[in-house]
Amino acid sequence: MNIVNILEEIEKVDGEIYERLSPRRSAMKDFYSMGKKIAFAAAPLALGSMFTKAYGQTLPTAVVNTLNFALSLEYLEYHFYNHALLGTDVTFAYPTTAAKAAITTIRDHELAHVNLLKGALGTSARAEITYAMTDFTASGTFGDVYQNYLTFLKVALGFEDTGVRAYKGQATVLKGLSVLTTALQIHSVEARHASHIRQMLAAAGASIKPWISLGAGGIANDTGVPQVDPVYAGESLDVQAGVTITGINGNTGVTKAAAVECFDEPLDGASVAVIANLFLRTGSKL
């Protein structure tokens, strides 16, 4: 999750969110360029200030619910990576120090996102999702997630590809706002996370490309794990803006596999929640 996802979700319950923020473009620009100037630890206060200016002292219930949904996802992702680094039941070995360093970096990013959202919500922040509330085996579907390095990476890829798909569809809504530039910057970094996990899988012996490709049975799930199919639902499309890309202009060299690789598809919030709930225990689901 990121600030762009948050604004998009809030727009669903408050169609005036951009009108509330747009007159403050100068302040928004300062917020989004802040990461280049000061420590990221200061970002929660700035985000909280931004919403206070937009809504006054009290956030609407619908906005609080949206931000807390985002916070829930960030807790989930943080614990997945943190446990892979610190869990006593983690028996797989990182093949290189660089591999462990990459997972550490991603873990740290997720923790920064958690702190960002907690700062924005203040006392309205949901109760912490602890590791005890999670089940990253998905009720046994990935029973060896912390014992088999390949399984761990494939579940990680599912998380990353889910997150990347949630960034889609922002450009038109954000056109004319300084947030658009930052949205694209954040999106590209998240996509690189997913690509790096793919490179780690390839280094571990998996046959996989740096981007989503068409797998067996015409499904764009190249992890090789059928249980991850929901993450890639809709990614096998070869029609964009009403135009069929496969064989476009009579070019038989443009196969469906090539067409699928050229475009990523969005994933709506409800679908993301279904995927996230696979990894939460009963009573903790979103």
For residue 261, is it within any domain? no
State pTM to two decimals.
Answer: 0.73
For residue 130, is it within any domain? yes
Looking up residue 142, the CATH number of its domain turns out to be: 1.20.1260
pLDDT given at position 221? 86
The string of pLDDT tens digits covering residues 98-129 is 999 999 998 998 887 788 778 777 888 889 99
Contacts for 221 with CB less than 8 Å, ≥ 6 apart: 215, 228, 229, 231, 232, 235
Contacts for 46 with CB less than 8 Å, ≥ 6 apart: 31, 34
- Which residues of the chain, if any, have pLDDT below 50? 23-42, 45, 169-180, 182-183
The string of pLDDT tens digits covering residues 13-55 is 566 655 655 544 444 444 444 444 444 444 554 555 555 555 5
pLDDT given at position 87? 94
Spatial distance between the Cα atoms of 230 and 274, rounded to a whole number of angstroms: 9
For residue 49, is it within any domain? yes
The parent domain of residue 158 ranges over: 3-209
For residue 185, is it within any domain? yes
For residue 232, is it within any domain? no
Total number of domains in the chain = 1
**Cβ–Cβ under 8 Å, residues 118 and 71:** yes
**Cβ–Cβ under 8 Å, residues 146 and 79:** no
pLDDT given at position 100? 96
